[in-house]
Homo-oligomer: A and B are copies of this chain.
Amino acid sequence: MKFNTKTRYGLRTMLELANNVGNDEVIFQKDIAENQAVSVKYLDQIIAALKKAGLVVNVGGKKSGYKLNKPPEDISVYDIYTAFEDDLAIIDCLLHGGHCPKGSKCSLKGYWLGLNQVIRSNMEGTNLRDLLQKQL
C-alpha cells in the first residue's frame, strides 16, 4: 500500500506551479527538477503525463514555461493521481471487468469498496488551494 514516486513528484510539481499562480514568471522543467531534487529526464516524463491529462500547459512554446491549466481550487489530488494511474482500485476486482475467483459469494467486496471510496473521496475533496493554505 504505497503511492508511487510519480504521483508524489507530480503532486509536488503541481503545488509548485500553484504557488506561482498570479506571477507571470515562467517555470522551466529544469528549475522544477532542481527544486524537487529529481533528474530533468525523469521530471520530463512526469510533466508529460500532467500535460496529457490537461492539468498543465506550456505557454509560448520552447524557451518558455509551464503553468496550471485551471485555477488551483479546480484541481484535486485525485485529478493528479489519475494523470499517472487508472482509477483508484485498492484490490483488482473493484475495477471494471475485474473479478475474483469467489465471484458473487465474496462477502468482503463490500468492505473493500467502502474503503476504496473513503480514500477516493479524501483525494477528490482536497484541491491545490487547500494544500497551499496548509503550508502557510
Contact with B along A114-133 (1 / 0, CB 8 A): 11001100110010000100
A55 within 8 A of B: no
Contact A92 B2 (CB under 8 A): yes
Segment touching B, from A44-52, A56-64, A66-74, A100-108: A100-108
Contact B15 A107 (CB under 8 A): yes
User: Looking at chain A, what size class is its interface with the partner chain?
Assistant: 20 to 34
Which B-chain residue is minimally distant from A77 (CB atoms)? B111
Contact B108 A11 (CB under 8 A): yes
Contact B108 A119 (CB under 8 A): no
Contact A111 B91 (CB under 8 A): no
Known A-B contacts: A1-B2, A3-B112. Give 20 more (CB < 8 A): A1-B85, A1-B88, A1-B119, A2-B89, A2-B90, A2-B91, A12-B102, A15-B108, A77-B111, A107-B131, A108-B131, A110-B134, A110-B135, A111-B131, A111-B134, A115-B119, A115-B122, A115-B123, A118-B118, A119-B119
